[in-house]
Amino acid sequence: MKKYYFLAFIFVSFISCKNSEFRKIDLNGTEQIVFKGDYFKTEKGKRLNNEGVEFGKEGYTEKANELLLKADKIEPNNATILNNIGITYSHLNNYNKAIEYYLKSIKVSDSTYLNAGNNLSLNYFRTGEFEKGVEIANFVITKSNNKLQTAMARIHKSFNLTALGKCEKAKVELKKIEKLMAENSGLQNQVDLIKSKIKNCVQ
């Protein structure tokens, strides 16, 4: 069994909910509310989502997917659940299906659920739809007030830019990422990967 280790908001991340407001920690260590209101309308939907998250963290991706799809039937317009389903499909290497669910998550949230946007940009990179990857990353960058979320978007944008051969633009993004990450090394591995891609980038 292949085991996946999930770090919060690094590339793709499962989201569970313990309170009526979803919170995350930005680079300065301050708590920021990114989505107000109840994520879950039902306790059963919440329970199935959280169980799916736990199975996903332990590497039981197919079981996680099964539970999250059940949660989706109970709460079909829940952006969190839809995003998490997308993540399971991504880890099952079904990137087109993952994209389908990330798009649904964005749609039902009126384009406010930016975590799905970041995940979408990465999956567009995986499917070779690099222009779309840049476009959705730019959308997240313009809408997000969170440094870590913005850094992720710029990382995914850089991946897509290097794939397009837009090396100089990728270098500009790298400088912006390094500035955002000056106080935190949590994404250093990804920054190093971008540097490697830029080094091998062909204009």
Q: What is the pLDDT of residues 129-165, one digit of tens each?
A: 999 999 999 999 999 998 888 999 999 999 999 999 9
Could you give the number of structural domains in the chain?
1
Q: How many CB atoms lie within 10 A of CB 19?
A: 8
pLDDT of residue 14: 52
Range of the domain at 191: 22-199
Residue 170 within a domain = yes
User: Is 7 contained in some domain?
Assistant: no
DSSP 8-state secondary structure symbol assigned to residue 92:
T
32 pLDDT higher than 50: no
Name the residue type at position 99. Answer: I
**pLDDT recorded at residue 148:** 86
Residue 7 binned pLDDT confidence (cut-offs 50, 70, 90) = very low
Helix (H, G, I), strand (E, B) or coil at 9: coil
- What CA–CA distance (Å, rounded) separates 191 from 108? 32
Query: Is there a domain that residue 5 lies in?
Result: no
Mean pLDDT of 37-53: 84
For the stretch 55-65, pLDDT in tens is 998 889 999 99
The answer to whether residue 118 sits within a structural domain is yes
User: Is pLDDT above 70 for 119?
Assistant: yes
Q: For position 181, what pLDDT does the model report?
A: 78
CATH number at residue 164: 1.25.40.10
Q: What is the DSSP string of 12-60?
A: S-----SSSSEEEE-TTS-EEEEE-S-S-SSHHHHHHHHHHHHHHHTT-
**Domain contains 13:** no
Rounded mean pLDDT, 18-44: 45
In a domain, 96, yes or no: yes
Does the pLDDT value for residue 37 go beyond 60?
Answer: no
In a domain, 92, yes or no: yes
Q: pLDDT (tens digit, 9 = 90+) per residue, 65-79?
A: 999 999 999 999 999
Q: Is residue 1 part of a domain?
A: no
Note the pLDDT tens digit of each residue in 92-118.
999 999 999 999 999 999 888 899 999
